[in-house]
Structure 1
Amino acid sequence: MENTDMGPPLTPLEQQFRDLKSRHTEKVLAIQVGYKYKFFGQDAVVAAQLLNIMLIPGNIALDERTHERYAYCLIPDVRLHIHLQRLLNHGLKVGVVKQTETAAERGADGPGKSAVFLRHISAVYTKATYMGDEDVGGGRADKTPGLGPQAARYIVCIDELQHPAQTGVVAVQPATGDIVYDAFRDSQLRDQLETRLAYLNPSEVLVVGLHAAVSKDTGVALKLHCPDASVHGFACRPDGAVQTGLEAFFGGLGAPGSHAHVSEFYLLHFAACVQSCVLQLAEHLAEFRLSNVFTITSNVAPFAAAGRYMVLPAATLRALDVFEVHDDAAARRGSLVWLLDRTYTRPGGRMLRHWIGRPLVDKAQIEKRLQAVACLACGKFVHVLDAFKAAVAKLGRGGVDLDRLLIKVHYLATYKNGRVSRKDVYLMLKCFGDLLQLFRNFGDAGVDELGLAFADSELLTEIMQSLLRASGQKTVDRILAQINAHAALNDRDPVEQKTGFFVHQHNKKYAAISEELARIADIEAALDTELQALRRSMNRPRLAYVTNMKETHLIEVRNGKMADALPPDWLRISATKTVARFRTPEVSRLHKQLQYHNERLLKENDNCFNQFLQEIDAEYVYFRQIVHDVARFDCLLSLSTLAQDEGHTPYVRPQLTTEQTVDIRLGCHPILLRLPQNSGAYVPNDVQMAPDKNKVLIITGPNMGGKSSLVKQIALFVIMTQVGCFLPCAQATMGIFDSIYIRMGASDNILRGKSTFMVEMLECASIVQNYTPNSLIILDEIGRGTGTSDGIALAYSILKYIIEDKNGPLTLFITHYPSLHVLEQEHETVANHHMAFVEKHSLDGAENDWPEVVFLYKLVAGVVSNLYGLNVAKLAGIEKGVIDLAHQMSQAMKADVERGEALGKLGSLRADNAFDVLFNLF
């Protein structure tokens, strides 16, 4: 592009920037200039502000000519990725523009080259596609919040073209290569989509619809559940375009035809809405050179395999603080993940989170996990288990994330995008080698003893045998034998690390490296011969080449007669007051050749490194299975560590039954028990529920008496049991549940334009429509979002419907309406309970005196008519006079408001019309 605008002419570098920026207006460009990275124009303004660095004033807009030069700021190349992460955390897309030729290469190729070094965009990053520790010539990743190893997040594509009949979702985690898909029917509330967003926690969302604009309901769901995610809308493709698009995309990926089978995999096995998401994501990731993630079809998994996992909707995840504490979404402390995660490795931590979010529903599979945990916690074969445990712990302490490194190798094998360093590749392979060597070191006797240690556990035996098979192969040894370990670890000298990485002698794969090294040796020998000749001609037997400011092969002479007597064709390179430094024509010629072949050596090493990574990538499934086995063992170790907790309350193995039963003796809330402020002390409770007795528990009691904590404890016990955990109680017999539905808390949903009561009714309708006989339902204070009479009517009718449904599940119903106790008299499967307390009256015995309450936090039979809200008001610091007046009014208003006008409307409530009946109440 020529500069035809008025004003000072652009420098070649500025013209190059302008050309690049005009083609990539949506990116902030970091342009390599020597040992710096420069930002120009508006990019410089943004970078200077966010990075808090100096901005050199100048032109801001591309076409502006009010100054001689563009505004700019710069950063050292060794700090590139430290600054890059900060830019990405502000939602920017950053392109790294690298210099692709050197002065040595230009000099060797002749004078016909351009006046400016060639540059191109070598990498593009967003928050979702950045994986940390990149090797593109710019330092190591720091601990910037939201990025880094533990912050791996998904990029999600939603196809809502057929909503509500069918919505498709595909999620990719670029940092690990995991791909999740689903196709489902959703409601007006978008609760199914919200559940998936709660699990996936995306940082970037693509939405495919009839038009490029995102629909209102989906947009609201995204703002509620992933407010910091960037959202992009796309219009749907014409009929047949998805199939041809998939075939064309994967047919052209990598070597011609090498991935043609991938399009067949997606076209044959997935719904049209999922195929649409795959194509949209593949095209999106192509810019970041990550789309070959879809070629690893073994990493593709359904979000919720039918009949395999418990259903935990988004409302349940929030109410139970499964992944994070709901009041503080950034906090893990106090969540179920925080309680259970004592893993050593990052893949283990990710797998345990997956286990917790998807509890098993198959009794045999749950028993396998529980038996493995029991086996690890029993204290037998300590030295054998300790050896295995130490190997996993060492892997964790080393900070090597094997999943991440494997997928980086996969990306680089196709795109050659420099996402992984030589040191990291060596450390990854060394970790695999050390782990497999452990099994070889056991020998036959050790393997037999290991077999005995795990004999009682089918799952541990399966893991051990898989790792034993892997250790019997020589894949890792064969690959490691090609690496010079000393050079690979030498990241203080990048050139030596690169050129010395391979053991290239007698290896035909690295013949090109050997050839370049031979040429370099010949040139260095010629330079040495030239030096000998110079010693003789100058009569200086100790003459040696000197190096100054990275200029090598210099001949230094003193200024004066000696310098003046030198031949005129000697090239003067530099000088001081006392000495001058020269190169002879022959030394200059040889020096240029040496520089050129040194550059060629680096390029040949890069080429060979890419081939080497392809060799590793060809064994991806083998390596990933090892990581999977280690992660499973790590998860089981974590659960066994919890099982051996020697606190005030021991952990016991739950007994499983096929009946829908909850029988807990002296159970404690597992999370509250561990919080430091409770010092390991917690009032235990007994809970018995079964289909024929206590199928529905109506729980009343004073405010702050522990009702919500108790029902959450029961739900957590159900989840922990089906994850494979031991429980903090004296004894537990648990049934197998396929879902947990919770309606708890009150909140106005301003974004949706729905009141507290509207949200409450919609969530109740969703529960009524979706529960099964094997569900667990928890309803907390239903009806409190409206008037007292209608609230009681609603609570009564909804609970009565569940009770009388022959497929009704176990239900815990917390209420502040004591009049609902009559349901116990009407149905033998219903039981009234309350949280025990003691009243303390004042000594003067005044008539209008209201008692203070001491909470006992014990679940006991019976109903409580007084909710003692005034006691909570006192604890909150409200003045006594105000509370006394409230007490008088409370006594005067205890008229019966058992049934209101809403009761008649609820007579027709059924599972198939629950949504409409509850929606139309108001």
Structure 2
Amino acid sequence: MTVKYTPMLEQYLEVKRQHVDEILFFRLGDFYEMFFEDAKLASRELEITLTARDGGQTEKIPMCGIPYHSADNYVAKLIQKGFKVAICEQVEDPKQVKGIVRREVVRIITPGTVISDSLLPDNGNNFLVAVCEEDGVLAFAAADISTGEFTWTVLTGPYRTSGLCDHLFRLLPREIIFTSKLEEWKELESFLTNRLSGCTQTTLTALEPARLAELNRQHFSKELIPAQEVAIQAIGSLLYYLHNTVKSDLSHMNRLTRYESGDHLVIDATALRNLEITRNIREGGKKDTLLSVLDYTKTAMGGRLLKKWLEYPLVERNAIRQRQDALAELIGKSVLRQRLQACLADIYDLERILTRVEVGTANARDLVALKTSLLALPAIKEELQGTESSLLANAYLKLDTHSETANLLENAIVDAPPFSVREGGMIKSGYDLELDELHAISRDTKQFIQDIESREREQTGIRSLKVGYNKVFGYYIEITHANAASAPASYIRKQTLANAERYITPELKEFETKILGAQDKIVNLEYALFISLREHVKAELQAIQRTAQELAVLDVLQSMAEAAFRNQYIRPTINDQREIIIRDGRHPVVERLLVKERFVPNDTVLDHNENEVILITGPNMAGKSTYMRQVALLVLMAQMGSFIPAREASICPVDRIFTRVGASDDLATGQSTFMVEMNEVAQILKHATHNSLIILDEIGRGTSTFDGMSIARAVIEYLREKIKAKTLFATHYHELTVLEDYSPLIRNYSVAVKERGTEVVFLRRIVPGGADKSYGIHVAQLAGLPKRLTQRAQELLQELEAPGAGEQRETNKRSRDVKPQAAVSLFSSAAIDELLAVDVMTITPLEAMNALYRLQTLARQESGKL
């Protein structure tokens, strides 16, 4: 039996059938209503009352609703939870329609397509990503509709999926769409579930593949479109999805740029996390990161660009030096820097305002913010006049003041308009004569009536004449019967009463028409004028976008200059000698956190002549990890064009920075601390080149002493013999210091320690030479372990270190060992190559145990050499 609903519900169901994946906000008067399962879901997730409505010839159906003017807050809650919302509006005026008002979905809001300020991070992007795979090639496209950014790249080779994961970790997309079944989808899905989910809520959306080349050609200029079909699919998928959700021509998304890894210092997800560049490890926020140290930006656009510069540093020397030149000028000209900061403080988020203009959601407050921003441009341009560095001088030449648009908005929009564009009160008096007249009529109705009445009395000589109004006849002139003969011929009799006659005149009828429809006309005329202003801005959209980009660059430059000035940073020399030389370097974050003590600076020399591998030994808590992170951060800062905390420095750009620091397990994927460590080391050894910088901390500590020591030594030798990268390697295995005797490119360093009897003081100074012990018991004492316990540990240590103890232990071990079946040296390249052949991202626990057993067997063969 066919269920019959009311005509309105039938209309709702027809729309809902086209939007089964979204929660449908169905406009009814001043509310968005939801019905059936949508109502139950929205009621639960939004914590609003679930009611019921008569469905016609059916039982009551579930229903809930929200006021349309506060919809953003409710949409934000649903989007944060990963839902999608379809906004269905009335597209006809209910006053002019008999029957059901026509309704259409005007926009679909998804986590990756939000544009409302209340739904977006202030200084962060909101990326939507598309991933396509074809014949073993991955294409990756990312767009931020709120700012107009659109980038893409192609990933090939056996490590393409790990490269994709690195991109995703930097971008933290809110939504990912995919159009094909990826060969490595399990690996990507694991990454999204176990890594990305800890940083952001990511929604996955499947999209049917289609031929999208024509859509690309319609949107982007021919020279921007890639040749690879898989890239065309990724870009086209994003465009297709955006057109179907935002339902706009998206002309503000006109920059299609390709990411080339060779143009930037590559920082993978592990290094980005370990170095706490833009997000800290604890809660993923900005606090205590390198970004927090350098961020003195005044605009949201500058804040987003600074984050991008940190995550994508440069490798091209001239580009780095151009940024350095601009910083040097801004640091040397404090007045210029301070005036730029004051001007930039008046700049709103132009990129996002322009997006709302493009998609038709910008309100009058957005245009006021745009006007305020544009009015600040002449002062900025004036300050830049006469600057010498290329970036600042070019900004002066490229910066358009958009004076015509600024003046138009200044003359048209009131300074404090209402939020809604449908209520009037937006347009200044004097901007439109018809509007001014309507306002005057609406405001001075009584005065108009009095003026007409006084004038008619004077012209007719009838002192008792009066002007009145009723709902049936409208405005009229009333004259008593005694004076009716004196009524002018132009008066038109409208009604006869017992003691008076009522008349109308063309003037009074015209006034009536104006006054009765004045308020509606005001609202409609103001809206029309506002739309005209918005269309004017839309015509200038690309030009204002270019200005916004220049302002963002200026903001980042002044921010880095301010940080350098406040923290006494120096300009590093950018060399082409493949060397890193830092004198009195300081950790940019740690030195800011110290309150009661002074940060101890340290020197660094890394090259390919005598200092290719720096082996650092010494106790825990002495500063090894801080020192190594410090070197990596200073190199990164130098390559983004920043000044750095040091006395002097000469740095050659590196192609990648790798880190393996800290101890953590991955319970979600069943990986122990040691397995995570081995995964990260394997990734480094697979991707590093001789132009990379590698930071390795405590390799091998997650297993037995001899196993760990053997792996650590094998890794060092592999780095030295096959990769030849500049490497900082910290270890507790002070026995490894003998490696300096085997290679002229390995140098021993240690953390200086001052001993006073049983007391140990860590001096935080990295000095030449290796440590001869690890001071672990001293660290245990500092941690507060019971004195009796640490004393017993000291006794056991003396027994273990007694002459002959090592030989006896080895004899005992060999008596228990099975005869090794392999005769391959652990330190040989063949052994490491065999280890690297294992795909550590997909290895099973059993395979991992077998691999470790083989390593143990090999380690025992070489243990005597240690």
Matches of 1:601 and 1:332, distance apart in 2: 48
Matches of 1:194 and 1:493, distance apart in 2: 42
Matches of 2:679 and 2:522, distance apart in 1: 68
Matches of 1:343 and 1:643, distance apart in 2: 13
1:732/1:181 CA distance change after superposition, 3 Å: same
**Equivalences for 1:431-510 in 2 at 5 Å?**
431-436=373-378, 439=381, 442=382, 450-451=385-386, 454-455=387-388, 457-467=389-399, 470-471=400-401, 475-477=402-404, 480-481=407-408, 484-487=411-414, 489-491=416-418, 494=421, 495-497=423-425, 503=431
**For residue 626 of structure 1, what is the aligned residue in structure 2?**
547
The amino acid that maps onto 1:119 is R
Matches of 1:424 and 1:552, distance apart in 2: 44
Contact 1:665/1:731, CA 8 A, preserved across alignment: yes
The amino acid that maps onto 1:168 is A
The amino acid that maps onto 2:242 is L
Q: Aligned pair count?
A: 797
Matches of 1:704 and 1:202, distance apart in 2: 36
1:486/1:22 CA distance change after superposition, 3 Å: closer
**For residue 858 of structure 2, what is the aligned residue in structure 1?**
none
- SS of equivalent to 1:269: coil
Whether 1:74 aligns to 2:65 is yes
- CA displacement at 1:153 relative to structure 2: 1.4
Contact 2:374/2:406, CA 8 A, preserved across alignment: no
**For residue 795 of structure 1, what is the aligned residue in structure 2?**
712
- CA displacement at 1:361 relative to structure 2: 1.3
Q: Output one character per residue of 1:536-562: Cα deviation in whole Å (capped at 9) or x when no partner.
A: 999986656699xxx99799x9xxxxx
Contact 1:351/1:635, CA 8 A, preserved across alignment: yes
Q: Output one character per residue of 1:869-907: Cα deviation in whole Å (capped at 9) or x when no partner.
A: 233333444333333343344444452799997972452
- SS of equivalent to 2:34: strand
**For residue 703 of structure 1, what is the aligned residue in structure 2?**
620
The amino acid that maps onto 1:907 is S
**For residue 651 of structure 1, what is the aligned residue in structure 2?**
569
Matches of 1:181 and 1:63, distance apart in 2: 52
Contact 2:449/2:467, CA 8 A, preserved across alignment: no
Whether 1:408 aligns to 2:356 is yes
- SS of equivalent to 1:72: strand
Provide the identity percentage: 27
1:167 to 138, 141, 146: 138
Whether 1:317 aligns to 2:272 is yes
**Equivalences for 1:495-644 in 2 at 5 Å?**
495-497=423-425, 503=431, 606=527, 609-610=530-531, 612-644=533-565
**For residue 89 of structure 1, what is the aligned residue in structure 2?**
80
- SS of equivalent to 1:496: coil
Contact 1:101/1:117, CA 8 A, preserved across alignment: yes
2:116 to 132, 145, 156: 132
1:41 to 27, 36, 45: 36
The amino acid that maps onto 2:266 is V
- SS of equivalent to 1:394: coil
Q: Output one character per residue of 1:491-550: Cα deviation in whole Å (capped at 9) or x when no partner.
A: 278533456699456xxxxxxx899979x99xx99x9799979x9999986656699xxx
**For residue 302 of structure 1, what is the aligned residue in structure 2?**
258
- CA displacement at 1:598 relative to structure 2: 6.8
1:835/1:390 CA distance change after superposition, 3 Å: same
**For residue 185 of structure 2, what is the aligned residue in structure 1?**
215
**For residue 24 of structure 1, what is the aligned residue in structure 2?**
19
**For residue 307 of structure 2, what is the aligned residue in structure 1?**
353
The amino acid that maps onto 1:172 is A
1:705/1:554 CA distance change after superposition, 3 Å: farther
Contact 1:834/1:859, CA 8 A, preserved across alignment: yes
Matches of 1:886 and 1:540, distance apart in 2: 116
**For residue 825 of structure 1, what is the aligned residue in structure 2?**
741
The amino acid that maps onto 1:115 is G
Whether 1:810 aligns to 2:766 is no
- CA displacement at 1:231 relative to structure 2: 0.9
Q: Output one character per residue of 1:54-103: Cα deviation in whole Å (capped at 9) or x when no partner.
A: 333568xx999443xx3333333332222322222222212223233335
2:220 to 258, 262, 266: 262
Contact 2:365/2:419, CA 8 A, preserved across alignment: no
- CA displacement at 1:402 relative to structure 2: 0.6
1:918/1:482 CA distance change after superposition, 3 Å: closer
- SS of equivalent to 1:651: coil
2:327 to 373, 377, 399: 373
Q: Output one character per residue of 1:159-179: Cα deviation in whole Å (capped at 9) or x when no partner.
A: 1343xx421110111110101
Contact 1:155/1:171, CA 8 A, preserved across alignment: yes
Matches of 1:232 and 1:284, distance apart in 2: 10
1:889/1:541 CA distance change after superposition, 3 Å: farther
Contact 1:665/1:730, CA 8 A, preserved across alignment: yes
Matches of 2:468 and 2:340, distance apart in 1: 57
Bigger Rg over Cα? 2
1:392/1:316 CA distance change after superposition, 3 Å: same
Matches of 1:552 and 1:830, distance apart in 2: 103
1:84/1:389 CA distance change after superposition, 3 Å: same
CA RMSD in angstroms comes to: 4.2
Whether 1:147 aligns to 2:120 is yes
- SS of equivalent to 1:827: coil
Contact 1:189/1:762, CA 8 A, preserved across alignment: no
Q: Output one character per residue of 1:667-719: Cα deviation in whole Å (capped at 9) or x when no partner.
A: 221101112x5357212222223322222110111111111000000111101
The amino acid that maps onto 2:585 is G
The amino acid that maps onto 1:674 is R
Contact 2:474/2:512, CA 8 A, preserved across alignment: yes
Contact 1:220/1:751, CA 8 A, preserved across alignment: no
1:301/1:19 CA distance change after superposition, 3 Å: same
Whether 1:391 aligns to 2:343 is yes
Q: Output one character per residue of 1:758-789: Cα deviation in whole Å (capped at 9) or x when no partner.
A: 43333323322322222111111122233322
1:94/1:891 CA distance change after superposition, 3 Å: same
**For residue 246 of structure 2, what is the aligned residue in structure 1?**
289
**For residue 91 of structure 2, what is the aligned residue in structure 1?**
100
2:213 to 246, 257, 270: 246
- SS of equivalent to 1:287: helix
Contact 2:91/2:104, CA 8 A, preserved across alignment: yes
The amino acid that maps onto 1:637 is Q
Contact 2:88/2:103, CA 8 A, preserved across alignment: yes
Whether 1:694 aligns to 2:611 is yes
**For residue 194 of structure 2, what is the aligned residue in structure 1?**
224
**Equivalences for 1:52-67 in 2 at 5 Å?**
52-57=47-52, 65-67=58-60
1:328/1:501 CA distance change after superposition, 3 Å: farther
Contact 2:123/2:303, CA 8 A, preserved across alignment: no
1:817/1:309 CA distance change after superposition, 3 Å: same
Structure 1 gap segments, 5+ residues each: 107-112, 134-140, 251-258, 413-418, 506-512, 558-568, 571-583, 842-850
Matches of 1:540 and 1:101, distance apart in 2: 48
**For residue 276 of structure 1, what is the aligned residue in structure 2?**
233
- CA displacement at 1:420 relative to structure 2: 0.6
Q: Which moved more, 1:180-189 or 1:592-601?
A: 592-601
The amino acid that maps onto 1:48 is S
**Equivalences for 1:172-187 in 2 at 5 Å?**
172-185=143-156, 187=158
**For residue 341 of structure 1, what is the aligned residue in structure 2?**
295
